[in-house]
């Protein structure tokens, strides 16, 4: 009897192991638009040299695009009161226009765009519920997102970039931190941190899925809030 029980346990374990192997090595049939970093059982997406080059070019092109004077993305499509003295929320029709403009650049994944829309929606709710201080027209936002800093580069104004590369690379998890470097007329080198970014494949092309300047949890905090 004990021998039969032992055989049953062994057979069950073998079946579970086989099922696990099939699960780890089979590719999902649905949702083939995006390639995520957790698609395989080892949770690491293998990045080739070509992938890495494409990701680096994508990031550089996005930064140069954001520094272009002709780029006017309205990240804060505000609404004012009848006296045009106080911001009272956001215009969601304008928000959709901004989201489409971001998509049209080809730099950002749908994950990134959805996060941005979610961020603005929550800020609108907080403004209308008086969870922030009164936001006077012409003043900086009373929340952290896009507050005196360009969220695309985590910088103020336009940086005359001479070169750009990544530090703290972790391309197995498709995550990196960017820096920009430029040398002024006196020969002094300046380094600007461009923040953390993440990437995912969408329709066979790498796109930016996250940047620290658009972090949801941080962006919806009150200006000056630390915790």
Q: Which residue has the tokens 């329709």?
A: 203
Q: Tell me: the pLDDT tens digits for 199-223?
A: 999 988 999 999 999 999 999 999 9
Enumerate residue ranges in the chain where pLDDT < 70.
Answer: 1-46, 69-70, 157-165, 179-185, 190-192, 227
Q: Tell me: the pLDDT tens digits for 136-170?
A: 999 999 999 999 888 988 777 655 555 666 777 78
Question: For residue 80, what is the enclosing H or E element?
Answer: strand 78-80
Q: What is the pTM (predicted TM-score) of this model?
A: 0.74
Dist CA 204 CA 119 (whole Å): 27
At 118 the pLDDT is 98
Dist CA 110 CA 91 (whole Å): 20
Do residues 123 and 135 touch, judged by C-beta distance below 8 A? Answer: no
Nearest residue to 142 via CA among 87, 80, 91: 87
Residue length of the chain: 227
C-alpha 104 chain-centroid distance: 16
């Amino acid at each position: 009897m004990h021998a039969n029980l032992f055989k049953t346990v062994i057979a069950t374990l073998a079946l579970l192991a086989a099922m696990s192997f099939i699960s780890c090595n089979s590719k999902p049939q649905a949702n083939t638009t995006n390639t995520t970093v957790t698609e395989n059982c080892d949770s690491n997406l293998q990045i080739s040299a070509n992938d890495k080059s494409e990701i680096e070019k994508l990031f550089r092109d996005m930064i140069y695009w954001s520094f272009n004077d002709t780029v006017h993305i309205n990240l804060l499509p505000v609404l004012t009161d009848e006296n045009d003295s106080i911001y009272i929320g956001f215009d969601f029709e304008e928000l959709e226009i901004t989201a489409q403009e971001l998509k049209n650049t080809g730099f950002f994944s749908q994950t990134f765009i959805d996060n941005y829309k979610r961020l603005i929606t929550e800020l609108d709710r907080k403004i209308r519920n008086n969870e922030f201080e009164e936001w006077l027209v012409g003043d900086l936002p009373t929340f952290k997102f896009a507050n005196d800093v360009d969220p695309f580069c985590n910088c103020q104004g336009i940086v005359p970039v001479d070169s750009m590369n990544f530090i703290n690379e972790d391309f197995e998890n498709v995550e990196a931190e960017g820096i920009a470097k430029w040398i002024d007329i006196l020969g002094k080198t300046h380094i600007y941190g461009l923040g953390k970014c993440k990437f995912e494949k969408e329709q066979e092309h790498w796109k930016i899925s996250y940047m620290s300047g658009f972090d949801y949890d941080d962006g919806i905090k009150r200006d000056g809030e630390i915790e």
